[in-house]
Structure 1
Amino acid sequence: MKTATGFATLCLAAIAQFVSASPADLPKVSVPTFRKDTIAISKLGAVADGLTLNTAAINKAIDQCTKAGGGVVLVPRGLWLTGPVTLKSNVNLHLAKGALLQFTNRREVYPLINTTWEGEEAIRNQAPISGVGLENIAITGEGILDGAGEAWRMVKKGKLTSDQWKKLVASGGVLNDKQDTWYPTAQSLKGASEPVKAGQPMTYYEGIKDFLRPNMLSLTRCKRILLEGVTFQNSPAWCLHPLLCEDITLRRVTAKNPWYAQNGDGLDLESCRNGLVDDCTFDVGDDGICIKSGRDEQGRKRGVPTENITVRNSRVYHAHGGFVIGSEMSGGVKNLYVSNCTFMGTDVGLRFKTARGRGGVVENIFVDGIDMTDIAGEAILFDMYYAAKDPVPQQGESNELPVIQPQPLSEATPQFRSFQIRNVTCKGAETAILIRGLPEMAVKDILIENAVLQSRKGLVCIEAENIRLKNVSLLTTNKTVMQVQNSRDITLDTIHFTDKADLLMHIAGERSGNIRLLNTDTTHAKKTVETDASAPANALTMKK
């Protein structure tokens, strides 16, 4: 046993690595301002009958506004059908209360362009609303933008009821060979049948055009962006995608997609800096609030991290993850502050994911004040072995991973380090905390403090280093509360758990060591520790 002095030294050393920080330390986000001059789209020939395609009138209003020095382009109350809208500098596109900007489901009006897809350069259809290289832009008001996503997206049979599936199939479209996925057109199915190739002649992409779904709002290399009050819904793919942008503000924005929408993310901030997401609502088909920075070699070559972002006072309903980093994070992520958010019914709560090949460093992530209910998977997840599939298996699918063998370190090895997570509650999850690193690169320097987590499984910690849990309640129904495998320098301080648990901790793996259980009443467990033959006999030290 170590001496009391030795324990104190170890604890102080661990605490020193978790220095508190505040969003006040970040640069102030610059918010755009606009002239009051207003152009209503109806004055330029737009008709709110749901039949007239108003693309030309809307884009003409935006052009006139920017050429006049900027101002407001007003979308009045009514149903306005349009093709792709292109934003311009110094323009605030304002949707009045009761305005519905309905993007057409005619895929042919969206031209193929050079853009990106999931963090890599790609040919895709032009986004319903987009801007490149702009400054001082906004979309505001109380109206709704609808991306006509049903014209683009595939649907898995397992995500619908029997009646919903029959109705969808009867509406048209085609099924794959397994008859378990519906596609809106044969061209869409053709594109899904094999990976899309890069660097091909345009005729190749024209042959699979319907498959190349656009993101709904695409902003690239823009500065001073404001999205406020509006609702974005029914996107073909990702809903909101700022890329390489600076000074981004989202206030009281709602993003809605069907829960079964493939790639139907809410917000994806990619290689962006200086941002605020405040009082927003997400109810989508993939990740809710997601931070990215490019994929694999292209992301590392770009080398632009997402940094200096504050997310606060926001809600996520259905989503694969409530607040998410990755898996395309090859340019790095740093200096993020997340506070006072609620996740209700998401597959995962706090979801940090990456994979071999990504590279990149995610660090200095601060989370404080998260409340969760009905989480289907993990309340808190660090996963460096992301398998690019739904976080909760569909019926008949397995979520088990193959045996992970170590690989040499390289620029393609990702890193998760320096996270602080405080004041978290979760009522209902499959697993409270899952930390899963790689044999060659552990998840490092994680502090989780003041948490009450009700779940089936408690802590599962694999390939991790310098992990500290302090004042954490793991209220589990599983027979084993905590599992530690090939992890070292683990401090478990003031752990509370369900009375009469069969086993408090199971330790496995020859690389496990320096695991400390402090200030914890172990008498409520039938057995305190069980150690596999592969683990060192002295891997655990306890002190009250």
Structure 2
Amino acid sequence: MISSNNKTFKFAVMLLFLLQLSFNVEMYAGKKKDYPVTSFGAVADGKTLNTKAIQKAIDAANKNGGGRVVFSKGKFLTGSIVIKSGVNLFFEEDAVLLGSTNPEDYPKFGEIRALIISNASKNIAITGKGIIDGQGRELALAVDSLHHTGVKIDPNYNYRRLRSSDGRGKLVSFVKCDSITMKNITLKNSSGWVQCFDQSKNIVIDAIKVDSRAYWNNDGIDIDGCENVRITNCDVNSADDGICLKSETPGLQNNNIYIANCTVRSSANALKFGTGSYGSFKNVTIENIQVFDTFRSAIAIESVDGAEIENIKVSNITAVNTGNAILIRLGHRNGDKPGYIKNVSIKDVKAQIPFGRPDIDYDMRGPEVDYFHNPFPASIAGIPGYSIENVTLENIEITYPGRATKGMAYLPLSRLKDVLENIKGYPEFTMFGELPSWGFYVRHVNGIQMKNIKLILEKEDFRPAFVFDDVKDLVMENINVPSDKIQQIIFKEVLSANLDTESLKKVNEPKQNTFELPKK
């Protein structure tokens, strides 16, 4: 016989259980539902084309208010799929999304051609510990063969480099989206740009890995006309620019960008503003970046299509085996008038420049310069009538290889006027041809502070460390250059210079008629 006390106790326990169950149901109802792609007919054998099945899972998640479209362990082959609002593509460990190698599986979605597409969506994500493999080289060669067999002619086919531009597409392309998350995923082997975020906002890219050296134009991360972007803890290894801010559309801006704690290896530039530079780049902070085996510049800030670039802060950059440390270029390739570059701070940089090309181990390498040159210095260069303004360089150490010879494209200091302006040229650290300095070449700049600059030569270089041409408001403090020769700093049309005593000793002597010390 059960006592009333026991009945009361059991009732209380049952009531507590029911309340807890009710609470759990309510909590579960608040979570986003999972939509396994295998439940919609997808087969993880690496051979079955799963485009329709995966799209059904995405559509179902979107229709029901959002959820995770889950890829379990295995290889899922697909053509283009479209992410919609509220959908997170989630990859379990050892899950692989394989891009089809058939160009017909990549129809255009509006103007977008990519493996994973989203347009005007909100709250979308790609997360998990899986891999998205575009099989880009195989796809690109298939596109190429269509051109040569006459099946699909590319009117812009590049016969010099034997590659097609149309039909290759990107791995990931998000346009006009809001609230994007990319986390932990590995992206590899794109046929074009790996991932592009265009005219979007509120983007978080964290702890992803990019390994894409499959074909040409394999930019690692492209941000084009976006606002409120965080790129952190990423490992990028790409056959083209590593992390690249672009502005391909006039009137749009990249604003409030934060890039930190990343490693970049590139057969082009590691961190780049441009080349497309029609809109603006404002309020960008880049810090704690490791760069290695990179063919072009570790840091490239370029406005050549009218872009406005201002309030840029770069700090704590380590670059090893890199073709160039710093390039800041204001040119006028397109647009009614040049843009501007101002208020740029670059601090705490340590770089090592090799004598040979640093990307020699890539099978897809950036194009060589057209003819031999002595090693190139870092360059900060505007154009006549349009100066770069307010640049601060502080705590910079660059090791150069030296080994320059007067027998190779010799440009004496008496011919500084012959250094190419190349106003309309493609921005690159090699764009001016032979340069008359081995450390820094600075031209058409208004307001530049250089503090705690150490330049090291591994071998002899006959050129001076610094050349300043058409520069105003120059400040130099604690400049450390090899002491085996004087006249390491050359002035041409330099006004309002303020140098400390030790730096002043390294300036060319005033008795030389071609160059005169500025009046303080």
TM bracket, shorter-chain basis = 0.7 to 0.9
Q: Which residue of 1 aligns with 2:195?
A: 240
1:108 maps to which residue? 104
- 1:110-509 alignment runs, 5 A limit: 110-115=106-111, 126-153=113-140, 190-193=154-157, 211-258=166-213, 261-294=215-248, 299-300=249-250, 303-346=251-294, 347-355=296-304, 358-376=305-323, 378-385=324-331, 411-428=336-353, 430-431=375-376, 433-455=378-400, 456=402, 457-476=438-457, 477-479=460-462, 480-501=464-485, 503-508=487-492
Q: CA deviation at 1:291?
A: 0.8
The CA distance in 2 between the partners of 1:435 and 1:255, in whole Å, is 30
- Alignment-mate amino acid for residue 57 of structure 1: A
Identical pairs, percent: 25
SS state at 1:327 partner = strand
SS in 2 for 1:286: coil
Deviation, structure 1 residue 210? 7.2
Q: Tell me how far 1:513 sits from its aligned partner.
A: 2.2
For 2:329 and 2:138, the matched residues in 1 are separated by: 34
**CA spacing shift, 1:109–1:423, aligned 2, 3 Å:** same
Contact 2:453-2:479 at 8 Å conserved across structures: yes
- 1:345 CA drift (Å): 1.4
Give the CA deviation at 1:188: 7.5
Judging changes above 3 Å, is the alpha-carbon distance between structure 1 residues 507 and 108 closer, same or farther for their aligned structure 2 residues? Answer: same
- Other structure's SS at 1:326 match: strand
Q: Is the 8 A contact 2:207 2:235 kept in 1?
A: yes
TM-score (norm 1): 0.73
**Compared with structure 1, are the counterparts of its residues 49 and 364 closer, same or farther at alpha carbon in structure 2 (3 Å cutoff)?**
same
Closer/same/farther in 2, CA of residues 467 and 420 from structure 1, 3 Å limit: same
Instruction: Give the corresponding residue for 1:396.
Output: none
**What is the aligned partner in structure 2 of residue 23 from structure 1?**
none
> What's the offset of the Cα at 1:499?
2.5
Quick one: structure 1 residues 187 and 232, their matched pair in 2 at CA, closer, same or farther if it must change by over 3 Å? farther
Match of 1:473, as an amino acid? K
Given the superposition, is the C-alpha separation of residues 437 and 251 from structure 1 closer, same or farther in structure 2, using an over 3 Å criterion? same
Q: Shift of residue 464 of structure 1?
A: 1.3
- 1:502 is displaced (CA, Å) by 5.2
Amino acid at match of 1:320: A
Give me the whole-angstrom Cα distance separating, in 1, the residues matched to 2:145 and 2:513.
54
Q: 1:217 to 1:517 in 2, by over 3 A?
A: same
1:435–1:144 Cα change, 3 Å: same
- Which one has a bigger Cα radius of gyration? 2
Write the letter of the residue equivalent to 2:244: C
* TM superposition score normalised by structure 2: 0.76
- SS class of match (2:137): helix
User: Using the alignment, how far apart are the partners of 2:512 and 2:217 within structure 1?
Assistant: 41
Separation in 1, partners of 2:122, 2:178: 5
Displacement, 1:488? 2.0
CA drift at 1:529: 4.7
Query: Which residue in 2 is equivalent to 1:539?
Result: 518
Find the counterpart in structure 1 of residue 411 from structure 2: none
Paired residues, number: 428
Aligned partners of 1:507 and 1:531 also within 8 Å: no
Give distance in 2, aligned partners of 1:105 and 1:240: 18
Query: 1:373, 1:427 within 8 Å by CA — same for their partners in 2?
Result: yes
Q: CA deviation at 1:330?
A: 1.4
SS at match of 1:216: strand
What letter corresponds to residue 324 of structure 1 in structure 2?
Answer: K
Classify 1:44/1:530 alpha carbon distance in 2 versus 1 (closer, same or farther; 3 Å).
Answer: farther
Asked if 1:514 corresponds to 2:499, the answer is no
2:66 to 49, 53, 70: 70
CA contact (8 A) 1:107 1:151 kept: no
Partners of 2:510 and 2:288 in 1: CA distance: 38
Tell me, which stretches of 5 or more residues in structure 1 are unaligned?
1-33, 116-123, 155-170, 176-182, 196-207, 388-406
CA deviation after TM superposition for structure 1 residue 66, in Å: 1.2
Would you say the 8 A contact 1:140–1:230 is kept in 2? yes
- 1:381 positional shift: 0.6
SS of residue matched to 1:60 = helix
Deviation at 1:287, TM superposition (A): 0.9
Counterpart-to-counterpart distance in 2, 1:531 and 1:419: 35
> Which amino acid is 1:238 matched to?
W
Deviation at 1:515, TM superposition (A): 2.8
Q: CA deviation at 1:414?
A: 1.9
Answer yes or no: is 1:89 the counterpart of 2:85: yes
Larger RCO (alpha carbons 8 Å, 6+ apart) = 1
Q: Separation in 2 of the partners of 1:505 and 1:268?
A: 38
Distance 1:76 1:329 in 2: 41
Amino acid at match of 1:127: A
Code of the aligned partner of 1:517: L
How far 1:450 moved relative to its partner? Answer: 0.9
2:26 match: none
CA separation of 1:433 and 1:88: change in aligned 2, threshold 3 A: same
**Partner Cα distance (1:522, 1:507) in 2:** 11
